Chains A and B, each alone.
Chain A
């Protein structure tokens, strides 16, 4: 799945990508397992073809789109993004996809649509982790419409020039590089346009610990660990932690979305 170099500002971070092996074997994908090494072993049961995404809610053209149609909707771009997990580790990943705004324009949201909700596949037959009560399934995430329309928000189909490995959220996921990784929902089956702010799975499970915005912010700690630094994955046993950047380093592109907001309150 080749992608052309993206022209979107901030789309190609100047850092060495994390090795493919690490990107594809260290995954938080609770629908398979809470152990990060397990999704790579277990996700073989995920059936990614045929695949349909249901576009619902406040749009002029609600529709069901097949994966082939989605792949052809806009030209593929390669974007080298930093990925910062809320667990204080980080990677650099060359993703392949196109701006989510292309899809949003295609389905024409109504003026009343203020938020967008992502719903992940939840099928017990394919996903052994669903039998655990860790979260309420299906996994849900959401963005404000201006965040969803931001050119850096990527509808993602591949990484390292290849189709997404199943454990990385095949066949399509969203990537929001300035937010903690859990905002970037995997294996999407529905995208909903809503007037009211949706409640994400993590907000539902621990509202005091996970807010709707989840912007990477070194000044706002998680209640049980510091967010001021992160461990880069792929550097080996003695890799030094590095300082976490505000908005994961995407401040120049996205800080204006939050002008005037108290990011301690809207965490």
Chain B
């Protein structure tokens, strides 16, 4: 698996695949294949892909440690940036297609609907993490500080889940939320379990 991950074409192939959802929306907008409510299809779809890439990014370290696919470490930044990228599309499509780029309406919406506020918080975290993702910034910040900042990705995962849960709660439609919750709590739980084990080993 490390060989596959290190293959010079592996990352370009992933990059192109990761852009497929976007390509389908652009194509669908012109070819009218997005169903009766195309704005909703793009707003919801981009939100779901934000969480999916976020979960993939959170899965990198557990997978690397448990499987020995050490080459995965080089993938984490790209996957995280795709989460930010789809989060940006999510925010822009909501602002444009749902709120007609009316800033005062968006601000009123943040005040009125807690789940919009939570979504905005999630995006803010992803934005900060994306800005601080270049290697030059990592060097400038110093590894320890950078790592502390980037631990907020766990908060982003939980906030994204809350945002999604709250949105779906309106119509009691939790199947997908439950699946994502199991994955996100599983990935965070693995980290908690590992740090607990390490601490015990250090004390022994």
> A222: CB under 8 A from chain B?
yes
> A205: CB under 8 A from chain B?
yes
> A123: CB under 8 A from chain B?
no
CB nearest neighbor in B for A135 = B172
Q: In the assembled complex, which residues on chain B have CB atoms less than 8 Å from the CB atom of A135? A: 172
Whole-angstrom distance from the CB of A191 to the nearest CB of chain B? 25
Report yes or no: B172 in contact with A134, Cβ–Cβ below 8 A. Answer: yes
> B6: CB under 8 A from chain A?
no
Report yes or no: B37 in contact with A233, Cβ–Cβ below 8 A. Answer: yes
Within 8 A of A (CB), among B80-135: 97-98, 100, 109, 112-115
Expressed in whole angstroms, the Cα–Cα distance for A234 and B175 within the complex equals 28
CB nearest neighbor in B for A18 = B36
Whole-angstrom distance from the CB of A39 to the nearest CB of chain B? 12
Whether A224 contacts B173 in the complex (CB less than 8 A), given A25-B35, A240-B100, comes out as: no
Whole-angstrom distance from the CB of B184 to the nearest CB of chain A? 21
A contact face: mostly helix, strand, loop, or mixed = loop
User: Of B39, B112, B115, B172, which one neighbours A231 at CB under 8 angstroms?
Assistant: B39
Report yes or no: B173 in contact with A134, Cβ–Cβ below 8 A. Answer: yes
**Count of A-B contacts judged by CB separation below 8 Å:** 64
> A219: CB under 8 A from chain B?
no
> B73: CB under 8 A from chain A?
no
CB nearest neighbor in A for B167 = A224
> A5: CB under 8 A from chain B?
no
Report yes or no: B36 in contact with A34, Cβ–Cβ below 8 A. Answer: no
Q: In the assembled complex, which residues on chain B have CB atoms less than 8 Å from the CB atom of A68? A: none
User: Of B38, B40, B115, B175, which one neighbours A34 at CB under 8 angstroms?
Assistant: B175
Report yes or no: B166 in contact with A224, Cβ–Cβ below 8 A. Answer: yes
Q: What class of interface size applies to chain B in its complex with A?
A: 20 to 34
Q: In the assembled complex, which residues on chain A have CB atoms less than 8 Å from the CB atom of B171? A: 34, 87, 134
Whether A237 contacts B173 in the complex (CB less than 8 A), given A224-B113, A225-B113, A226-B112, comes out as: no
Report yes or no: B100 in contact with A26, Cβ–Cβ below 8 A. Answer: no
Report yes or no: A237 in contact with B113, Cβ–Cβ below 8 A. Answer: no
Expressed in whole angstroms, the Cα–Cα distance for A37 and B173 within the complex equals 15
Whether A26 contacts B36 in the complex (CB less than 8 A), given A209-B170, A224-B169, comes out as: yes
Expressed in whole angstroms, the Cα–Cα distance for A222 and B112 within the complex equals 11
> B29: CB under 8 A from chain A?
yes
Q: In the assembled complex, which residues on chain A have CB atoms less than 8 Å from the CB atom of B170? A: 87, 209, 222-225
Expressed in whole angstroms, the Cα–Cα distance for A245 and B47 within the complex equals 30
User: Of B97, B109, B115, B174, which one neighbours A237 at CB under 8 angstroms?
Assistant: B97
Q: In the assembled complex, which residues on chain B have CB atoms less than 8 Å from the CB atom of A267? A: none
> B34: CB under 8 A from chain A?
yes
Q: In the assembled complex, which residues on chain A have CB atoms less than 8 Å from the CB atom of B175? A: 34, 132
Expressed in whole angstroms, the Cα–Cα distance for A222 and B113 within the complex equals 10
Within 8 A of B (CB), among A15-74: 21-22, 25-26, 34, 36-37
Report yes or no: B39 in contact with A237, Cβ–Cβ below 8 A. Answer: yes
Whole-angstrom distance from the CB of B101 to the nearest CB of chain A? 11
| 7 A-B interface contacts by CB (under 8 A) | A36-B35, A37-B35, A89-B40, A134-B171, A222-B170, A236-B32, A238-B39
- Listed in ascending order, the chain B residues whose CB lies under 8 Å from chain A are 29, 32, 34-40, 42, 97-98, 100, 109, 112-115, 166-167, 169-175
Told that A226-B113, A234-B36 touch, could you supply 6 new A-B pairs with CB distance under 8 A?
Answer: A37-B35, A132-B175, A224-B169, A231-B98, A237-B38, A237-B42
